[in-house]
Chains A and B, each alone.
Chain A
Amino acid sequence: MNIGIIVFPGSNCDRDVRWATEGCLGISTSFLWHETTDLNGYDAIVIPGGFSYGDYLRCGAIARFSPVLNSLIPFVDKGGKVLGICNGFQILTELGLLQGALTRNKNLHFICDRANLSVESTKSTWMKNYKKHDSISLPIAHGEGRYQCSSDVLKKLQDDDSVALRYAKNPNGSIYDIAGITNKKGNVLGMMPHPERACDEALGNIDGKSILSTLLS
């Protein structure tokens, strides 16, 4: 198992993810600079949180045109696993690998907190270590986390069992309390909460470990 973490100018959770995957779980992990196009040899790619390219224009709008993301679409088509966390989730929606969009929090604040979440679906490769309706707590830290989509798309997400995580108490105004979704096939997960910050016992919460530990099996 080899994990690649994409690093953009402005990424700031790349080392947190590496600590979780390599430090806590012992999985071989490398950083991939955004100008790389070769994703051969990787089983899973993580797009970490941060402010890629300064998040100018819209969050993730410029990152989606980076060379490495051109290679990500065929990687996903071949069944490769992709996890987008926070800014990574925003990038995956801009890229069109996940449906919908993330917009400014309803209360206009940057929210840095812990969020209680309910596991809504375990169909995806990333969520299989949880049980449906498990209640977990993960850190959140975002200014643009309000998930938006049309009612048709929402229905499709529900029909496809693609809503992975919902907030117990909606912090940002997301439609249907959505905190994370997957693609239909279940190999791509995008989520606003930070599982990588909840993998180390020393931090007092390991509720996020079950997501990254799916890479061990």
Chain B
Amino acid sequence: MSLFKARVFVHLRPSVLDPAGEATRSATKRLGIDGVTQLRIGKSIELEIEAANKEDARSKIELMSDRLLANPVIEDWTLEFKDEQKVATN
């Protein structure tokens, strides 16, 4: 077994209004920064998972992302792997 570290980034679909992102964007002007035309807020979920191999880890995380971490009606997600370590198995 190996331990995989991954990050799932969940964000609202482009068609869904993000009022919190809009409010934050308006604050950029108050900070004195012009030209921010788009600002949307998402969630970053960092996780570690034990799996036989990377493909196994990927399929588990994909299932988790579709069913739990994101709601596909309003959200999209992307997955990125970080480093991989071998772990001792019992």
Instruction: Using CB atoms and an 8 Å cutoff, list the residues of chain A in contact with chain B.
Output: 57-58, 61, 65, 93-94, 99-101, 103-108, 146, 148-150, 173
- Nearest CB in chain A to that of B43: its residue: A57
- Contact surface of B with A, Cβ cutoff 8 Å: 12, 16-17, 19-20, 23, 68-69, 71, 73-74
Q: Is the CB of B74 within 8 A of A104?
A: no
Give the secondary structure class of A's interface. Answer: loop
Which secondary structure dominates chain B's binding surface? Answer: mixed
**Given A57-B68, A61-B68 in contact, is the A105-B19 Cβ separation under 8 Å?**
yes
* B12 closest partner in A (C-beta): A103
Complex CA distance for A173 and B16, rounded to whole angstroms: 11
Number of A-B contacts (CB under 8 A): 33
**Which residues of B lie under 8 Å from residue A99 when comparing CB positions?**
73
| Cross-chain contact B71 with A108 (CB below 8 angstroms) | no
How far, in angstroms, from A104 to B23 measured CA to CA in the complex? 13
Nearest-neighbour CB distance to chain A for B41, whole angstroms, equals 10
* Chain B residue at minimum C-beta to C-beta distance from A149: B73
CB-defined contacts of B17 to chain A, threshold 8 Å: 106, 146, 173
| Cβ of B5 to closest chain A Cβ, rounded Å | 20
Residues of the B chain whose Cβ atoms lie less than 8 Å from the Cβ of A146: 17
Are A108 and B68 in touch, CB under 8 angstroms? no
User: Can you add 14 more A-B contacts, CB < 8 Å, to A65-B68, A103-B16?
Assistant: A57-B68, A61-B68, A61-B71, A93-B73, A99-B73, A101-B71, A104-B19, A105-B19, A106-B19, A107-B19, A108-B19, A146-B17, A148-B73, A173-B17
Considering the complex, give the chain A residue whose CB is closest to the CB of B15: A150
A58 to B19, CA, bound (A): 16
